[in-house]
Amino acid sequence: MKKLTQTFIKLVVVVLFLTSANNSFSQATIDLSPFYGWQMNGRIKFYEGELKTDDNPLFGVTMDVLLAPGMGLRFLYSRTETTSYFKSYGSGFIDNSYNIVNEYYQIGSIKSIVNGNIEPFGAFTLGAARFHPLDAVQTDDVWRFSITAGLGVKIFFTEKIGLKLQGDFMMPMYFQGVGFYFGGGGSGLTVNGSVPLLQGNFNAGLVFRLGQ
């Protein structure tokens, strides 16, 4: 859904505007952190079969708007490209594989403990997860409401530059109606279900501290 992506971008713009236009927000510190890591994608069991997705690298960026010591807002974007496999339990369904892009658009909170140049933190966000088939036809992107919860640490080498290490649980809340099509001949796959998917990742990246 383009509207969800546009809404996420608008929220980021609003926060940036407030940080420059409002006295209380003007005291905020912004931690900008591009990251790279490894995402574990899990599997979903349907009545008709099992959908398994390969673990693969991910990359993304977080923006932490720290409004008070140890507290702030977090904006998160992440992306991974991977391959999913459907294995049917019986006849009547097609075993197949397809390449997908999985993205997360999130907003939430971060709570950290400031201890010199070392800042352990916990973060919780909610938003949207997007699943985009790269080599399928006649199908739309799958969007799901999602949440993430993570723990990590920021280690600052200077006042403005540091290293961020983090691990996250990622959960699109429900999958319903998987329907992908392959090839010009129109072969297809359709399964139904209502299954929570648990994903996770470990990532690392630099932190650039802006503002105060």
Residues 14-36 have pLDDT tens digits of 555 554 545 455 567 899 999 99
Q: Where are the domains of the chain?
A: 2-211
How many CB atoms are closer than 10 A to CB 66?
22
Span 66-120, pLDDT tens digits: 988 889 999 999 999 998 887 777 666 666 778 889 999 999 999 999 888 999 9
Q: Is the pLDDT of residue 206 over 80?
A: yes
Task: Please give the pLDDT value at position 121.
Answer: 97
Task: Please give the pLDDT value at position 183.
Answer: 44
Looking at residue 116, what DSSP letter applies? T
Q: What is the pTM of this model?
A: 0.78
Q: Which of 31, 53, 30 minimizes the C-alpha distance to 42?
A: 53
If one compares 5 and 159, the residue with the highest pLDDT of the two is: 159
How many CB atoms are closer than 10 A to CB 89?
12
170 contacts 124 by C-beta, under 8 angstroms: no
**CATH topology for the 2-211 domain:** Porin (2.40.160)
Task: Please give the pLDDT value at position 31.
Answer: 94
Residue 9 backbone dihedrals phi, psi, to 5 degrees: -60, -40
Within the chain, what is the greatest distance between any pair of CA atoms?
Answer: 65
Residue 198 backbone dihedrals phi, psi, to 5 degrees: -105, 120
Task: Please give the pLDDT value at position 180.
Answer: 47
Mean pLDDT to the nearest integer, 51-66: 92
Share of the chain above pLDDT 90, in %: 46
Rounded to whole angstroms, what are the CA distances from 94 to 48, 86, 179, 187, 188? 10, 8, 11, 8, 7
Q: Is the pLDDT of residue 172 over 60?
A: yes
Span 38-50, pLDDT tens digits: 999 988 777 677 8
Give the CA angle between residues 32, 78, 162 to the nearest 5°: 30
Q: Is the pLDDT of residue 184 over 50?
A: no
Rounded to whole angstroms, what are the CA distances from 148 to 116, 171, 204? 27, 6, 16
Task: Please give the pLDDT value at position 186.
Answer: 45
Q: Which of 136, 208, 195, 146 minimizes the C-alpha distance to 8?
A: 146
